[in-house]
Structure 1
Amino acid sequence: MTVTPLSAHAATHATARTAPAFRGRIGRDARSGHYAVPGRYRLHLSTACPDGLRIAVVHSLLGLDTDCPATFLPAVPADPERGHAVLRPLYEASAHRYPGPALGPVLSDSWSGRIVSTHTPDITRDLSRFGGAGPAPYPCGAESEIEAVERMCRQGVDEAAQRAGAAEGGQAERDAALGTLLETLGALDRWLDGRAYMIRDQVTAADVEVWTTLVQLDTVHRQHLDATAVHRIADHPALWSYARAITAHPAFGGHLDLAGIERRHRARCQGLESAGAAVQILDWTAHTTRP
């Protein structure tokens, strides 16, 4: 499976959009400062946000409701400029006169009242430090494979879909982005034909990444694509069959907040809706299993 490299402009935009404010890590023992003590940490996230959804799925796969409880935030803060009121004390305790909005996802430390991390990849990996009752999302020896899947989804699907539906730029640029998107989906479709999971014979973080990316593609990105493009995206039967099957897993479908995703999209989106908005690829609610 080939990943098309990001252009310099796209890479800069992606870095600015996702750059974390805090990147503490959970270590293996007390020497690390932040170490895995049951009940010490709390997650704050919204499953309407793709990063929050990723973390929520991994959290459920590990069964960490008691060891690292989660607070679920509204899809849209009451005050978009300041963010979520419940998170302001954490941000202000962690950064003097913090000027930005208080947004999730956040992993906080109840001992200090401060933020450990707002960086989704670190948080999802560090949750495994608590052990957990479920299968390991990051099995030994699979890290490079998972990272390759993450890059593929980010560059070949998420960012390509954004460029394909962008109002700015020329038609040639949008067509090239759509080509990248369809090429990536085709590679995933061929890879998943006859397979239940991405890289192992059990659910891993690679499946979390692919599923969350497909949710975002069908619920957000398609709204800015034309109907022909959405039909071409839908024409990957193995990929969307895989998405239906994964959605039936309670740790995945149980966190799917379609109404919240829609509210968040409407609050953030500055683009024009296109004909593809009327062409739903998957009936996600028909395959959702609540825990």
Structure 2
Amino acid sequence: MTASTEVPNYASPVDLEAHGPYGPGRMDTGKGFNRPAYPFQGRVTADGSSGYRAEPGRYHLYVSWGCPWAQRTAIVRKLKGLERVVTLSYVDDERDSRGWAFRERRGADPVNNFAFLRQAYDATEPGYPGHISVPVLWDRETRKIVSNNFPDITIDLATAFEEWADTSVDLYPLDLRPRIDELNEEIYHSVNNSPYKVAGATNQHDYDEHRQRVVTALERLEERLAGQRFLFGDRITEADVRLWPTLGRFDLAYNPMAGISERSLTDFPHLWAYARDLYQRPAFRETTDFAAFLLLSKGPAPSFLNGGPERLTVEPAQADWDAPHHRERLTQG
């Protein structure tokens, strides 16, 4: 009997009192924030030389509405028109020490009927002791995880499935790959990961240093986007996909959680207009749930948030993401 015909297998409700918060035992919650390892790093290739051939219907993405790393995979899947090629489902928004789970609000696991995502990890490596993360790219054929390494998954979705994809969208063009890789590295360290470093800082020096790194990076991006529509001119690339989920969460989640800056995203006029330009496209809008972002600042404090520094107090800020952006003018002249 397939998972689709079984009675949905839902996890019991989140219970922090009984199970404790997620993190200890799975992640390093000591001094500072150290991003955990993502040990499953298989690659999908068009010719199957990696051991995983790109095929329609073979792969499934497990993602979360709140997780920025997971959202990137959902965005690429939609930009490339792969909705009928690679299936996707969402875990519940909240978790306790048992990790990501499947509950009625976001739906059951349509592939394996697991109650907890850790079951996918245990099926791949029995007794797996590490971080239970999303996104997860699951292989129906081997019944194992191909990858939980988020940078690889978006590249593979963007390049390996061209036989079934929208080939008019090239997120990782050959001529730009070295420059995209270079910018992605900078975006990762200074924008994507730095809010977690700010939150994890245990002393004033580290807190001030990490938050200044974020602000400086936003200022550089503001300048870069003053004269061009996207990070590499007039077309969306992998770099834009890497950047947007952090921008989308900045005012509602990252800045209130960590106390990064007195300035909100809306105080960077070019960056804010650029972020709206992307959001107003279906691939970004339809993979976004702003209510899920609020959980990072309004829910239980994440285990990596450390005391010690005197932090800025920042309230979550709602913005008008549907306001006209006028960025099309940058591709008309």
Give the TM-score, by structure 1 length: 0.82
Q: Any idea what SS the aligned residue of 1:231 has? A: coil
Contact 2:73 2:153 in 1 (8 A): yes
Aligned to 1:130: 161
The residue number in structure 1 matching 2:100 is: 83
Q: Is 1:32–2:50 an aligned residue pair? A: yes
The gaps in structure 2 that reach 5 residues or longer are: 1-30, 102-114, 325-333
Instruction: Name the SS of the counterpart of 1:130 in structure 2.
Output: coil
Does residue 23 (structure 1) correspond to residue 36 (structure 2)? The answer is no
**1:120 positional shift:** 0.5
> Any gaps of 5 or more consecutive residues in structure 1?
1-11
Q: Could you tell me how far 1:82 is from its partner in structure 2?
A: 4.4
Which position in structure 2 is the counterpart of 1:276?
A: 314
Change in CA separation of 1:267 and 1:107 when aligned onto 2, cut-off 3 Å = farther
- 1:210-230 CA distances to partner (integer Å, 9 max, x unpaired)? 211212322222104659x33
Q: CA RMSD in A?
A: 2.8
| Secondary structure, aligned partner of 2:241 | helix
**Does 1:139 pair with 2:157?**
no
Q: 1:177 to 1:233 in 2, by over 3 A?
A: farther
Equivalent residues in 2 for 1:72-221, closer than 5 Å: 72-77=90-95, 79-84=96-101, 85-100=115-130, 102-127=132-157, 128-131=159-162, 132-133=165-166, 135-164=169-198, 168-170=202-204, 172-221=205-254
Q: 1:175 to 1:234 in 2, by over 3 A?
A: farther
SS for the counterpart of 2:89 is strand
Deviations 1:165-204 (A, max 9, x none): 556212x443333332222111111110031111142111
Q: Partner of 1:9 in structure 2?
A: none
d(CA) in 1 for partners of 2:280 and 2:273?
A: 11
TM-score w.r.t. structure 2 length? Answer: 0.72
**Partner Cα separation in structure 2 for residue 225 and residue 32 of structure 1:** 40
Tell me the distance in 2 between the aligned counterparts of 1:102 and 1:174. Answer: 27
Q: Percent identity?
A: 30
C-alpha contact (below 8 Å) 2:63/2:135 kept by paired residues:
yes
The structural deviation recorded for 1:253 is: 1.6
Residue number in structure 2 paired with 1:253 = 285
Query: What SS does structure 2 have at the residue aligned with 1:177?
Result: helix
Contact 2:39 2:148 in 1 (8 A): yes
Number of residue pairs matched by the alignment: 272
Change (3 A) 1:140 1:108: same
8 Å CA contact 2:250–2:265 kept in 1: the answer is no
Report the more deviating stretch, 114-123 or 22-31. 22-31
Q: Which residue of 1 aligns with 2:111?
A: none
Mapped pair 1:63 → 2:81: yes
* Contact 1:226–1:274 (CA under 8 A) maintained in structure 2: yes
Q: What secondary structure does 1:44 align onto?
A: strand
